């Protein structure tokens, strides 16, 4: 969800106002994805590298996240959305984690779309930790290294139990994946828009979904002959 700060600065506003406006886009896109029957939506809220930003901005982001987690509970329940998180809990404020855990607990029984928030997340760190767990099991004699395959490895990732993304949408014209779900997006279709996240709306989502639907996914094969 790139471009919050740039959206604000282009309007002569503090960067935090861009983040505040970005929450509106989160609500709008989440509701539209539910309406369209999307099974899973993952939003990259905060990368493990984002801690380099100014502390006041980070503090505001955590407060905004906590506020979102509390205020959206009724809507998530109404739309039967299940909330989950991927990323490291270490370093996140206790109040934010408490709000996250409570919302996840309340929505755990919902049977609708899964909304996954990537918070303090970095794909390289995720992959390294998965490798460590497998290495420890092999060292302890509970796992034959020869039995490690893609399925066993994927089961050690934060996203275990989830399907891999079909479509990766990148806002603000950014042409990189920025350490996001590096294992999981191996065959995801990419769609990039110049629109900043606060301006990303249902029309642009429709354009992304239409582009995805028009593509032939070959997964390394030759496709239709």
Count of residues in the chain? 225
Token pair, residue 161, equals: 């139990």
Residue 221 is assigned to a structural domain of this protein = no
Q: Is residue 185 part of a domain?
A: yes
- Which residues make beta-bridge pairs with 118? 44, 86
Element at 85 (helix H, strand E): strand 82-86
**Closest residue by Cα to residue 37 from 135, 136, 112, 109:** 112
pLDDT at 132 over 70: yes
Would you say residue 225 has pLDDT above 60?
no
pLDDT in tens, 17-28: 999 999 999 999
Average pLDDT over residues 102-118: 98
Give the mean model confidence (pLDDT) for residues 120-128. 97
Q: For this structure, is 2 an active site residue? A: yes
Residue 101 covered by a domain: yes
Average pLDDT, the chain: 95
Helix, strand, coil percentages, rounded to 5, for the chain: 50, 15, 40
Confidence of residue 52 (pLDDT cuts 50, 70, 90): confident
Please pick, among 2, 4, 120, 158, the residue that the annotation labels catalytic. Answer: 2
92/83 Cα distance (integer angstroms): 17
B/e letters for 12-26, b = 16+ CB within 10 Å, e = fewer, are: eeebbbbbbbbbebb
**Residue scoring higher pLDDT (163 or 225):** 163
Q: What is the average pLDDT across 59-70?
A: 95
Q: Would you state the structure tokens that stand for residue 47, as one six-digit string?
A: 């990368």
> Residue 224 pLDDT > 70, yes or no?
no
Q: Look at residue 222 in the predicted model and tell me its pLDDT.
A: 61
CATH number at residue 192: 3.40.1180.10
Close Cβ partners of 217 (under 8 Å, ≥ 6 residues apart): 187, 189
Say what the pTM is: 0.92
* Residue span of the structural domain in which 186 resides: 4-121+168-213
Residue 141 lies in a domain: no
Residues 6 or more apart from 203 whose CB is under 8 A from it?
Answer: none
Q: Tell me, what's the pLDDT at 29? A: 97
Domain membership of residue 218 (yes or no) is: no
How many domains would you assign to the chain?
Answer: 1
Could you give the residue ranges of the DSSP H alpha helices within 80-149? 94-107, 123-139
In a domain, 32, yes or no: yes
Q: For a pLDDT cut of 90, what percent of the chain falls above it?
A: 93
Is the pLDDT higher at 169 or at 220?
A: 169
The confidence score (pLDDT) of residue 212 equals 97
Residue 224 within any structural domain of the chain: no
* Integer Cα distance of 123 and 131 in angstroms: 12
Instruction: Please identify which of the residues 4, 50, 164, 166 carries the catalytic annotation.
Output: 50
Known active-site residue 120? no
Average pLDDT over residues 130-158: 97
Q: Give domain status of residue 68, yes or no.
A: yes
CA dist 101 → 35, 67, 123, 149 (Å): 25, 13, 22, 32
For residue 223, the model assigns a pLDDT of 64
């Amino acid at each position: 969800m790139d471009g919050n700060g740039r959206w604000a600065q282009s309007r002569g506003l503090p960067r935090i106002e861009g983040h505040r406006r970005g929450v509106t886009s989160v609500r709008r896109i989440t509701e539209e994805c539910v309406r369209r029957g999307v099974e899973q939506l993952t939003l990259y809220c905060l990368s493990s590298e984002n801690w380099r930003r100014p502390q006041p901005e980070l503090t505001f982001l955590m407060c905004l996240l906590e506020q979102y987690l509390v205020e959206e509970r009724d809507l998530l329940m109404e739309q039967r959305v299940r909330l989950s998180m991927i990323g490291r809990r270490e370093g996140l404020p206790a109040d934010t984690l408490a709000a996250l855990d409570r919302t996840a607990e309340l929505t755990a029984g919902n049977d609708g779309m899964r909304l996954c928030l990537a918070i303090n997340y970095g794909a390289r760190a995720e992959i390294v930790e998965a490798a460590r767990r497998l290495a420890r099991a092999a060292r302890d004699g509970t796992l034959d290294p020869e039995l490690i395959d893609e399925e066993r490895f994927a089961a050690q990732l934060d996203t275990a139990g989830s399907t891999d993304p079909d479509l990766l949408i990148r806002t603000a014209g950014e042409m990189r994946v920025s350490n996001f779900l590096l294992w999981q997006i191996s065959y995801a279709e990419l769609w990039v828009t110049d629109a900043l996240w606060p301006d990303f709306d249902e029309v642009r989502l429709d354009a992304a979904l239409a582009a995805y639907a028009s593509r032939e996914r070959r997964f390394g094969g030759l496709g239709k002959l």
